Structure 1
Amino acid sequence: MRGEWVNDPVVQRFREYLKIPSVHPDIDYGDCVVFLKQQANEIGLPVTVYELVPGKPIVVITWTGLQPKDSSILLNSHMDVVPVYEEYWSHPPFEAVITDDGFLYGRGTQDMKGVGMMHLETIRRLKTAGVRLKRTIHMCFVPDEETGGTDGMRKFSESEVFKKLNVGFCLDESMPSSTDALIAFNGERTSRQIKITCKGVPGHGSLLESNTAGEKLHYIVNKFMTLRAEEKKKLDNGAALGEVTTINLTQTEGGVQINVLPENLSVSFDIRIAPEYDHDAFEKMITRWCKEAGDDVIFEYIVKNPEVKNTKIDGTVPFWNVIKTTVEKMGIVINCATCPGATDARYVRRQGVPAIGLSLMTNTLPLLHAHDERIHVQVYKRGIDIMEKIVLAVANV
């Protein structure tokens, strides 16, 4: 059976992509570009490479539809993968080993070269079969998603080039499901990373001075950690992570010596605001806490992502409607949720384009960024079957 998989050209193309070590931090996308150009040529589709930032190529493969003036469909994936600790892997992470029981090991199998190859194989299959779609399909392969997407999808989505693609709907990534049901993402929490600095009266550590930096810091930390506990209760009571605002104290700074009252102390928090939370009210609350803590307490944003509304799943977005109907006709349950992390889809949504994240991997242990990232060959090939039906549906809306 393993020999059958190894000799399968669909699997071999996937393995070839996985063997390209497009891994941070010293990343080179050259081989990915060569590979994707080769795929486009084999399928018989035009390919364009944009380099809005030197060394950060964006590859777009286009299949023009029968009604090219209609808004297009964007199938987006990223070429980069996160670092590996090879000593903890059962098989080398960039050799794309297939085991006797059918598991394909490799960094990127789940996140997200597997999804990108499902896009490619779907279009290859449809075009080879002589199918024609109403809407134009753009397959997009971007850099640097794993480092925030600033030089990848963010710049691309804000460019005139992107506007000319006339995108009306985007499919991106979600995560594998350990059950028979698919997981879809229709939005993300908003990342806000802040640093609060408290200035106080310096002096000798043996005194009990008033208006110290430590007292002010204590007040701030207490407020944030109390809110954290309240949000954690929601999680403990069954709320999904994507629907909960997470607050984590990640850094503290300040002080010159253990017996000296410091003039400055600071604390940093990583915050992910849930979609239903009033983002403006959240910022006003932090401002109020700083004033309550005392004089000379200020906060600054290290990261302040704008609020981006979730793609609606209330029946008003026809693309989501046909996805749900299509997979349910195949006997597959699909559950939509807010992504607890972040994907490139947020940049597409900022442009007013509805986007759904969808990684077609059921009964698969989620191993994104983990050791021994892998996917079963049968799961991968079934994902292509499902993607084919989805593309047919959304491209003919």
Structure 2
Amino acid sequence: MFFCPFAYEHWTHPPFAAHVSEDGFIYARGTQDMKGIGMMNLEAVRNLKNAGVRLKRTVHISFVPDEEIGGQEGMRVFSESEEFKKLNIGFGTDESIPNPGPNVLITFHGERTSRQIKITARSNPGHGALLGEDTAGEKLYYIIDKFMKLRAEEKRKLDERNLWFGDVTTINLTQLEGGVQVNVLPESLSASFDIRIATDVDHDEFEEMILRWCKEAGQDVTLEYLVKNPQVNNTKIDDSNLFWVAIKKAANEM
């Protein structure tokens, strides 16, 4: 469950105080997503060190900001720095999620592609008492309807096939912008969508679909990418991947 950090009425302690209760629980913004996992990683490192385990390579654990909005000011800046290049990183993993119960170890070998887009529909402004042709509202409604129908189809697949969120494309309308006042037809209206494209979807075809919708909606409907991450192929999970072989071996032994 996620609470807005400023909705103080939902918090038993101030969300930015990192309050530690008498029984050792920490109440703070981000303890579930995902600082709790970070603490588990640090605890694993401590256990390995206390057990005298010597690894063949150095393990670095990093805590960086800005992950939820693409990491442009966080991990990207760090990864382009000389300090990062000197670390000679072989591979990386993200924070992942807690395991759902005992005797279960969930591993992920791929990630959906994040695309954040803004669709803007433009038309001639006019008076709200009229029924103008090809208004920005009509055009944007066409686009929103297309995305909501696709969203409903992906949700149906998620529910009927008992899939994970990572198996489907998620689409959410997150921002609406435009308009001057209630009785004026706006010159432009915009809708922004947060999209996570499933790993089995052709990215070029997905983009062509959106551009086709923009064309069908009418003139002066444009697509702008706020975030356009490249597609990254899934990591192989067979004997050619030594990292996977090591994880599988360790899990079987446990």
Alpha-carbon contact 1:142-1:152 (below 8 Å) kept: no
Q: Deviations over 1:336-395 (max 9, x none)?
A: xxxxxxxxxxxxxxxxxxxxxxxxxxxxxxxxxxxxxxxxxxxxxxxxxxxxxxxxxxxx
Counterpart Cα distance in 2 of 1:300 and 1:122: 48
Of 206, 218, 221, the match for 1:294: 218
Amino acid in the other structure paired with 2:76: R
Alpha-carbon shift at residue 164 of structure 1 (Å): 3.1
Residue 113 of structure 1: aligned partner: 38
> 3-state DSSP class of the match of 2:231?
coil
Q: Deviations over 1:65-120 (max 9, x none)?
A: xxxxxxxxxxxxxxxxx958596247996344463xxx644544762431341243
Residue 231 of structure 1: aligned partner: 154
Alpha-carbon shift at residue 280 of structure 1 (Å): 1.7
Within 5 A, what are the aligned runs for 1:263-274? 263-274=187-198
| 1:142 is the counterpart of 2:67 | no
Cα 1:121–1:145 shift into 2, 3 Å: farther
Alpha-carbon shift at residue 147 of structure 1 (Å): 5.1
Cα 1:117–1:161 shift into 2, 3 Å: same
| 1:175 is the counterpart of 2:100 | no
Residue 200 of structure 1: aligned partner: 123
Counterpart Cα distance in 1 of 2:41 and 2:228: 29
Aligned alpha-carbon RMSD (Å): 2.8
Alpha-carbon contact 2:67-2:74 (below 8 Å) kept: no
**Greater relative CO, 1 or 2 (CA 8 Å, sep 6+):** 1
Of 127, 130, 134, the match for 1:211: 134
Within 5 A, what are the aligned runs for 1:23-102? 88-89=11-12, 94-97=18-21, 99=23
Alpha-carbon shift at residue 176 of structure 1 (Å): 1.2
> 3-state DSSP class of the match of 2:225?
strand
Alpha-carbon contact 1:120-1:139 (below 8 Å) kept: no
> 3-state DSSP class of the match of 1:172?
coil
| 1:156 is the counterpart of 2:68 | no
Alpha-carbon contact 1:245-1:273 (below 8 Å) kept: yes
Matched residues, number: 242
Counterpart Cα distance in 2 of 1:216 and 1:152: 36
Of 235, 239, 243, the match for 1:315: 239
Cα 1:152–1:296 shift into 2, 3 Å: closer
Alpha-carbon shift at residue 208 of structure 1 (Å): 2.4
Cα 1:206–1:86 shift into 2, 3 Å: closer
Q: Deviations over 1:279-311 (max 9, x none)?
A: 121111111111111111111112222222232
Q: What is the TM-score of this pair, normalised by structure 2? A: 0.82
Alpha-carbon contact 2:115-2:197 (below 8 Å) kept: yes
Alpha-carbon contact 1:144-1:150 (below 8 Å) kept: no
% identical equivalent positions:
53
Alpha-carbon contact 2:111-2:166 (below 8 Å) kept: yes
Counterpart Cα distance in 2 of 1:83 and 1:117: 25
Counterpart Cα distance in 2 of 1:250 and 1:300: 15
> 3-state DSSP class of the match of 1:292?
helix
Cα 1:98–1:234 shift into 2, 3 Å: farther
Alpha-carbon shift at residue 183 of structure 1 (Å): 2.1
Cα 1:83–1:183 shift into 2, 3 Å: farther
Give structure 1 stretches of 5+ with no counterpart. Answer: 1-81, 331-397
Residue 248 of structure 2: aligned partner: 324
Counterpart Cα distance in 1 of 2:166 and 2:77: 26
Residue 124 of structure 1: aligned partner: 49
Counterpart Cα distance in 1 of 2:146 and 2:237: 35
